[in-house]
């Protein structure tokens, strides 16, 4: 087999497209099939830097790991990074090419990107046995169909069979499946092979009459019913899967090795990016990670993390408006731990000069670190390797802000003053030895008798999660039928479901 393909679409955002795509990739590679993920256009503030220095969505990097291949820009040629409710930075083939309003993007620029996106898909199909594509939002967003380059537009151009995923935990999944199909043009409907139910709880036999009726109404089968799976903690794309003040992801609760737990509060700043940085902390037994948005929630925290953001100046204003800035200053004066990552690092500095991101000009930072930041038009995209606290550290950088560090102790190209640390490096906490050393420092500064587990491997935990996704597909989906779709394309003779596209 060479050049097989499948598009995993969804009835809604967050229906489970990303994890189903990853699960299919992991299942296929376990069958000895050389597979790659693909998403033509992604909107996300959760991004990653490939080894060639290209910025892509973290979901596609995770899917590449599921497929056991190195992520490249081909797998996510267009990345949109929102900077407000109405505009996004456009990243093409891993490099920023400008800022566009939603109307400007859908009004013309998106159509210009269709040929490069299709070329990337065809290059992957010429290299791999199979390419599993992920859609975006819903294929039945009829207001955007004319300029679509990620759902039915790419499926029709590449003649890809489409499986539509629906989240039954939210309710209404039968109406979603039927409505999604019935709002598509006949040429698009020809590619809708069937459905996949996600996040089902209970006795599947109770669902079967509905699936039979859906088949009767649409002429399309359901390829599987995936059960609700707790504790996956896989990288998200569209936003936080947890509400504010909720525990990060669905982390498995493990008892602490020492006598105390360690409480981590993450400031949920506007336009928060790469919040996955704290996943490695949440994976540690005895570490409790929560997102917070009120000053009083920092009082009992042993560590406060100010994460990355696509709007540094906006985040700084938000911290001040909510009293969180004053709380951070008090923490620093008391010698209580604070970690700033990327935009969070910039916030902790003395001064920000921004004529690029917010165009706010000169803005005072919180003054907790001797750092001055100037925003440059060009974006730094890097995969640094270094050492901190006597341990090897790997990370990645995605930022316009250039830091001029004027004092403190060196720390991952940033600095440390007392119990306040700052760095532009994302992903550093995934380095196991460094994470344990950092947590020991935090526990000492916080006066906690917390001891990091000696054997927690974040990489191994991620592999276990990806294997669980592969298991879900293998055990609860009709894999023989999925493989036929991938190899042979859309089934012939699928009926038209009226009314079709308006």
Q: Which residues are catalytic?
A: 342, 426
Cβ neighbourhood burial of 235 (10 Å; 0-12, 13-18, 19+): buried
Closest residue by Cα to residue 136 from 146, 149, 125: 149
Residue 197 has a CB neighbour count (10 Å cut-off) of 27
- Report whether 286 contacts 254 (CB < 8 A): yes
Cα 242 versus chain centre, distance: 13
Classify burial at 155, counting beta carbons within 10 Å of its beta carbon; exposed 0-12, middle 13-18, buried 19 or more.
buried
Instruction: Please choose, from the candidates 37, 25, 115, the residue with its C-alpha nearest in 3D space to the C-alpha of residue 72.
Output: 37
Distance, in Å, from the CA atom of 338 to the CA atom of 60, rounded to the nearest integer, reads 31
Q: Considering only CA atoms, give the Rg of the chain.
A: 23
Contact assessment for residue 477 and residue 28, using Cβ atoms and an 8 Å cutoff:
no
Q: Could you tell me if 382 and 49 are in contact, meaning their C-beta atoms sit under 8 angstroms apart?
A: yes
Cα dist from 329 to 49, 81, 326, whole Å: 32, 30, 5
Measured CA to CA, the distance from residue 487 to residue 494 in angstroms comes to 18
The 3-class secondary structure across 315-336, one letter per residue, is HHHHHHHCCHHHHHHHHHHCCC
Q: 58 vs 47, 128, 236, CA distance in Å?
A: 5, 21, 8
């Amino acid at each position: 087999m060479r050049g097989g393909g499948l598009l995993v679409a969804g009835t809604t955002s967050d229906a489970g497209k990303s994890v189903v795509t990853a699960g299919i990739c992991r299942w296929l590679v376990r069958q000895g099939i050389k597979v790659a993920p693909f998403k033509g256009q992604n909107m996300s503030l959760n991004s990653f830097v490939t080894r060639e220095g290209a910025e892509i969505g973290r979901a596609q990097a995770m899917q590449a790991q599921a497929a056991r291949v190195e992520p490249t820009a081909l797998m996510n040629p267009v990345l949109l990074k929102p900077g407000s409710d109405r505009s996004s930075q456009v990243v093409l083939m891993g490099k920023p090419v400008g800022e566009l309003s939603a109307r400007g993007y859908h009004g013309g620029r998106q159509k210009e990107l269709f040929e490069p996106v299709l070329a990337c898909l065809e290059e992957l199909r010429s290299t791999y046995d199979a390419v599993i594509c992920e859609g975006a939002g819903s294929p039945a967003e009829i207001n955007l169909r004319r300029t679509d380059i990620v759902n039915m537009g790419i499926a029709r151009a590449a003649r890809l069979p489409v499986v539509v995923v629906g989240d039954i935990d939210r309710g209404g999944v039968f109406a979603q499946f039927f409505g999604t199909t019935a709002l598509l043009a006949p040429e698009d409907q020809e590619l809708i092979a069937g459905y996949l139910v996600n996040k089902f709880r209970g006795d599947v036999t109770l669902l079967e009459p509905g699936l039979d009726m859906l088949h009767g109404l649409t002429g399309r089968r359901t390829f599987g019913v995936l059960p609700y799976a707790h504790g996956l903690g896989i990288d998200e794309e569209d936003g936080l899967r947890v509400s504010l003040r909720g525990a990060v992801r669905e982390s498995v609760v493990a008892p602490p090795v020492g006598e105390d737990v360690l409480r981590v509060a993450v400031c949920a700043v506007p336009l928060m990016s790469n919040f996955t940085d704290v996943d490695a902390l949440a994976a540690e037994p005895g570490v409790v990670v929560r997102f917070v948005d009120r000053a009083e929630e920092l009082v009992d925290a042993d560590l406060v993390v100010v994460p990355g953001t696509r709007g540094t100046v906006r985040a700084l204003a938000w911290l001040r408006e909510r009293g969180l800035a004053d709380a951070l200053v008090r923490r620093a004066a008391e010698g209580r731990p604070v970690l700033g990552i990327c935009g969070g690092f910039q916030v902790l500095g003395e001064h920000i000069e921004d004529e690029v991101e917010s165009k706010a000009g000169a803005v005072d930072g919180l003054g907790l670190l001797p750092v001055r930041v100037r925003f440059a038009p060009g974006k730094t995209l890097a995969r640094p390797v270094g050492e901190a606290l006597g341990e090897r550290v790997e990370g990645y950088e995605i930022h316009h802000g250039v830091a001029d560090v004027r004092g403190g102790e060196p720390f991952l190209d940033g600095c440390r003053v007392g119990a306040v640390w700052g760095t532009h490096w994302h992903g550093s906490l995934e380095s196991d030895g460094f994470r344990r050393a950092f947590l020991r420092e935090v526990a000492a500064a916080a006066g906690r008798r917390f001891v990091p587990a000696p054997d927690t491997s974040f990489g191994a935990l991620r592999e276990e999660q990806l294997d669980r996704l592969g298991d879900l597909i293998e055990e609860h989906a009709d894999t023989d039928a999925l493989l036929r779709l991938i190899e042979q394309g859309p089934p012939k003779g699928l009926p038209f479901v009226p009314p079709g596209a308006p």
